[in-house]
Structure 1
Amino acid sequence: MENKYKKMEKIYYSDKEYQIEYEKRINNPASYVTNLKIKTIIRYLYEDLSFLRKHSKNPLQNITEGDLYFFRKRRQRHLYIAC
């Protein structure tokens, strides 16, 4: 299953901190318990990226500071829930 998640990572990750957090969870399953939680995190990541694309004020999908602010707030909540 890990390979599946590694592939998905390339699609969903745009944020370096998220990638590091994700790799910690994949590489130390004992500390982060179950694959279910990893699936939950991936789902939240996907939702976050969709949220950014949808709310980006630039048609070319450049991310503004405002978008990042809301993204980080959502991310903190999601990582807290997923843990």
Structure 2
Amino acid sequence: MPIYEYRCERGHTFEVMQRMSDEPLTSCSTCEAPARRVLHPVAVHFKGSGFYTTDYGRNRTKRIGGDAPEGESKSSGSSSDSSGSASDD
């Protein structure tokens, strides 16, 4: 069961162990003032040399259809496509 943190209007902070299906508390356990559940951001740690370069590779523009890298021409790819369509007839 998770532990939820609550804070009342008068500044009291308290924790309650509840099931996820339970309704949130509405009053402080100390002073009975209205209370709200406190939400905290999740901690995310990115480790490694760089996710962009490792996940998407180095030839990203080639896959998208951008400019071909130096030494390669776009016509070399289109000639293989035309020969493939001729064999379909």
What interval of TM-score do these two structures reach, taking the shorter chain for normalisation? under 0.3
What TM-score does the superposition give when structure 2 sets the normalisation length?
A: 0.19
More strand by share: 2
RCO greater where, 1 or 2, for CA within 8 Å and sep 6 or more? Answer: 1
More helix by share: 1
* Structure with greater Cα Rg: 2
What TM-score does the superposition give when structure 1 sets the normalisation length?
A: 0.20
